Amino acid sequence: MKKILALTLVSALMAGCGGGSSGGDLEADNPDNGSGSDSSQGDGDNGSGTPTDQVTALDGTWKKDCGPVEGQEHYDIVTVTHDRGAFTSSIENFRDASCTLPLEYSPNPTASGTYTVGEEVSLSDGVTATKMDSHITQFNGAPFDINDYNIFYIQNNILYIGEGDADTPQTRPATLDYDRPYYRIN
């Protein structure tokens, strides 16, 4: 149950979290991001990642608009904030497609943890995404210990994360979810 909950949360978060661009969009969106290739922190599969004191293209607050929760009969709005290697997230659950009627007796989960941005990876659709590794350390205020390996891609302040969940670097998603992206709100 803990693993299913974590994978659902990570999927909603990221999401958790990951992606670059095939052109100069990352640098144009955040000129102070740096490449992350000179870090001594690992990203789970290649030994390089973003130091926790470095601004990344993910830094800021991102919001996923109201939409259906895959495999469920409700809708949600997800907000994630990234700040120099740390993240927080919240999920608001609703009964209706307009996200105006809260889902009764449903928790609106929160989570926090750390992340590193790794190397770029070319996808089969021609997009160059970026690897991202996340470690969820808190869930609804309780200690948690779940790792997630994902990819992300940012274009025009829109964040796309990998489809699916991965608890090992070898099972990291190889495609992006273009249906429910996150939009930068600051």
Model confidence over 120-164: pLDDT tens digits?
A: 999 999 999 999 999 999 999 999 999 999 999 999 999 999 998
**CB of 156 closer than 8 Å to CB of 20:** no
Beta bridge mates, 80: 62, 89
For residue 176, pLDDT over 60 is answered with yes
Q: What is the pTM of this model?
A: 0.75
Q: How many domains does the chain have?
A: 1
Beta bridge mates, 108: none
Distances (CA, A) of 96 to 5, 66, 75, 103, 108: 22, 9, 6, 8, 15
**CB of 82 closer than 8 Å to CB of 152:** no
pLDDT tens for 67-114 read: 999 899 999 999 999 999 999 999 999 999 999 999 998 889 999 999
Structural domain harbouring 132:
2-184
**Which runs of consecutive H residues, i.e. helices, occur in 115-158?**
none
CA distance 132 to 153: 10
Give the pLDDT score at 109.
Answer: 95
pLDDT tens for 30-47 read: 333 333 333 333 334 444
